[in-house]
Amino acid sequence: MALQLGDEAPNFTADSTDGEITLYDYLGDSWGVLFSHPKDFTPVCTTELGEVARLKGEFDKRKTKVLGVSVDPVSSHKDWVGDIKDATGQALNYPLLGDPDRKIAGLYGMIHPNADNSLTVRSVFVIGPDKKVKLTITYPASTGRNFEEILRVLDSLQLAANYSVSTPVNWKEGDDVIIAPAIPDDEARAKFPKGFRTVKKYLRYTPQPNR
């Protein structure tokens, strides 16, 4: 069965462009983003890896460590690194895992046989500090991911974890958030000193609490 939200993210040890990595040790008490690539030296993957390198400072701000993975070996990854920098202007600044035996792909359900029976699809897994899966997204090989959206989701997940709020449609950093319906108004007034506005008794907006 595919990994579902709330499942424990499978631990593993694998070689990477930064040496051997054990997932749980690498993440420590940080959040994590594990994302897979169909194959080295492919055009869409090259653009994605460069974009994540460009955004690494944004992931760092969110105490989030990133890890790429593909079914090719690390020796191939190291040859690819120069192409990524040439094509995108960004040097790889995070580990890229090798998975030639498909171990990680199998643990995380990254191979979808009806799409391709040997290459990984573009999977994204956000892993919380508790090592539980908080988000899964799967793209086809032909579609590059929007990593700005993944940062937006991280912001939402971290707000939900820390403040008992959720985020409405099209929310972005700085917008109002929604107070959990289980919190009564009296408690909400104490918990959210910036105040709130009630649209329905189950829909109450408050300014983003960590700004």
The residues annotated as belonging to the active site are 45
CB 9 within 8 A of CB 23: yes
Full DSSP string of the chain: ----TTSBPPP-EE-BTTS-EEHHHHHTTSEEEEEEES-SS-HHHHHHHHHHHHTHHHHHHTTEEEEEEESS-HHHHHHHHHHHHHHHS----S-EEE-TT-HHHHHHT---TTT-SSS--EEEEEE-TTSBEEEEEEE-TTS---HHHHHHHHHHHHHHHHHSEE--TT--TTS-EEE-TTS-HHHHHHH-TT--EEEETTEEEE--TT-
Phi, psi angle pair for 40, to nearest 5°: -70, 160
State both tokens at 85: 């920098």
